[in-house]
Structure 1
């Protein structure tokens, strides 16, 4: 495999709590240690992905990592926006390493970390502009546009790709008009329908949080904020409490798009609602409930593709069907990530892959990484891929 240069923990911006990010220049220092992730409680999807790697947690988490075959040349750039229900995850996690994708496909891969939960989505009354989390993501893309040439990347060929909350973050950036300027193409995995908040809704959720916290959020401790955030989530019992704010006046933009969902995307959320643990056969037992809830992910993918096509851009639809034979989780939420990012070591504790040989995952992943990179290059890619279907728009 081609050698890859890895630059971790690059600080792209700085911000005080609840303040907009200020871009930072690259200092030229190459860090090898992983950077921080935003403070967070344990993920509700540990039963799918496994436990979070024990990285530093810091609300000053505007960092990114770059994976490049060489610091010379002009390669396509793929920027990953992680998911986690807008409250967990981080670009620095081993799950999101892009070295294999970069090496196989001769592209530059960037993983971005941004503020989450209250730190990224709290709305003061009469606020303006996008959510702070999206402001972080946009700042990262502006940093990439300014500096990626120093890492062998082409600032005019940037593809953003994201899963779940990361996928919907891309949809939000399109709504705010950043498509076509900061990125030219997008790949959205499991980007659910109806996740955006109006400003009024965002302020209402923030007031509920403030009532739960009982003190000034600007000076409250991180532990107090996380505890109140968890209590509010338990009270509201929603798929996502925090989410990006929609623009007051729609701007809108369109780019070439690849969007899709997993066949059993919603199964983990069904099991959480039912307080049931997955065992072999669980996916069949809850197939009807999963199909019903899957409209969030399937419908989100279809409506996004239709919207992009209506604006005269190219768009394709895919469904991820591969599943482990013994996990009981089917082709569920997050199962597509190991086929693109990370390593066997990073994913060895993931319950969704239980019983599967890494050689099979890597063989399918190699095809999938090629097609995703071809899309970033502006090419159509070679379908089919075992376990992944390219769907006609009419389906």
Structure 2
């Protein structure tokens, strides 16, 4: 017989399930949304069974941008009706004020991933750091960020995420969390989402800290030419089309986006100047205005672009020829700088100069000669360890057991109290500011 706990929350009586040292309440609906329409917060219901993970937003089963060699969704179903959260909390741990809360926004170039994907299992993070982790699933691709190109179809995924944050403020106390101690965290596109939630209308007071891992801020917003090209193709989409037809159309939109060069790598995503975001011209000032109110921790890996370059056969062959590897490393370094480093440093410097507290960390190379050493997403197996990583090129092996707890400690301390790391971790983390 399963060990369960019933939680009386404003959203309804939630049946949660004990899993070793955590309690999980999964697949809780936070909103509903018709296709290409904003989310509507879910009203209270009598009973919610939190025993099953929420479905993923419609997507290809494998990441089209990176050629992933394993199915990151595992056995998760796919559905347009995907607006769900899952809450993972330490077992039998309470405080009078409530536990710190980390809201996890997954990455995947705004076209892939899900909050309940096994690769984001927060078991270790919740148990070791004594925090509550709320995992978010939101709409992706055409369904979440473009529609048929009309202004009102843009940024729906942003509105989904804001709806989640409202749900957290209303309900997390019932799960033992502190609504006044909420950190939003994300990796890759999820980190980009966190940065833009800082300046989105309607988010003031919904969170207090931001943790961004590998934010590709150099791609944010794309280019006018790319957006125009995508919009022209999107106009042909039938709003009544099947999900499969929508995904086929999304592939055509992605092809049109190639005019944007590097920006095409994250062509779906936030659009400046459309509700709830300011214009691109006003964004910097908006970030400066909120800086004193929000603590920021930014991390990136040393060789981000190696993740993507590794799927180009010619580059793999270049890596295998040791004498030419400096050429490859120069290429990796240059593109990493264009997509991650320069824009990240600009973001961080503006934040600090505007009165905000923050730190930047670099996840350093292990120096083992692997093509994917310290590549983009290489920190995920350390934050969310699990057997699924053993089937991937990102497997850290024995290093996971050594470096993982250190990185999770940094995340946990920041989530709990805003403590910013000031001392590097040899062989894992360098402090950049």
1:266 is matched with 305
Residue in 2 aligned with 1:3? 21
Deviation at 1:197, TM superposition (A): 2.9
What residue number does 2:408 align with?
369
SS at match of 1:109: strand
Call closer, same or farther: CA 1:194–1:384 in 2, change over 3 Å: closer
Q: Which runs of 5+ in 2 are unaligned?
A: 1-18, 259-263
In the TM superposition, residue 342 of structure 1 has moved relative to its aligned partner by: 4.0
Q: Which structure has the larger Rg over C-alpha atoms?
A: 2
The answer as to whether partners of 1:134 and 1:244 remain within 8 angstroms in 2 is yes
Of 325-334 and 145-154, deviating more is 325-334
- The answer as to 2:82 corresponding to 1:56 is no
Q: Is the 8 A contact 2:58 2:78 kept in 1?
A: yes
Q: CA RMSD in A?
A: 2.8
Q: 1:81 to 1:56 in 2, by over 3 A?
A: same
Question: Of the candidates 344, 358, 366, which is equivalent to residue 301 of structure 1?
Answer: 344
Decide whether the 8 Å contact of 1:158 with 1:183 is kept in 2. Answer: yes
Q: Gaps spanning 5+ residues in structure 1: where?
A: none
- Matches of 2:68 and 2:227 in 1, distance apart? 32
Larger mean Cα displacement after TM superposition, 90-99 or 129-138: 129-138
Match runs of 1:1-395 below 5 Å: 3-25=21-43, 27=45, 28-41=47-60, 42-44=62-64, 47=67, 50-52=70-72, 53-70=74-91, 72-73=94-95, 74-122=98-146, 127-128=151-152, 131-177=155-201, 180-197=204-221, 204-210=228-234, 214-216=236-238, 218-237=239-258, 238-246=264-272, 247-249=277-279, 250=282, 251-252=286-287, 253-254=290-291, 255-272=294-311, 276-277=315-316, 281=320, 286-295=328-337, 296-323=339-366, 325=368, 327-343=370-386, 345-353=387-395, 356-357=396-397, 359-378=398-417, 379-381=419-421, 383-393=423-433
CA contact (8 A) 1:10 1:63 kept: yes
Q: CA deviation digits over 1:146-176, x for unaligned, max 9?
A: 1011111100100011111000001111122
| CA–CA distance in structure 2, aligned partners of residues 313 and 184 of structure 1 | 12
Q: Under a length normalisation based on structure 1, what TM-score does the superposition of the two structures give?
A: 0.88
Number of aligned residues = 386
Cα separation, partners in 2 of 1:32 and 1:284, compared to 1, 3 Å? farther
* SS of alignment partner, residue 175 of structure 1: coil
> Does structure 2 retain, via aligned residues, the 8 Å contact 1:195–1:244?
no
Q: Is the Cα contact below 8 Å between 1:94 and 1:346 reproduced in 2?
A: yes
TM-score (normalizing by structure 2): 0.81
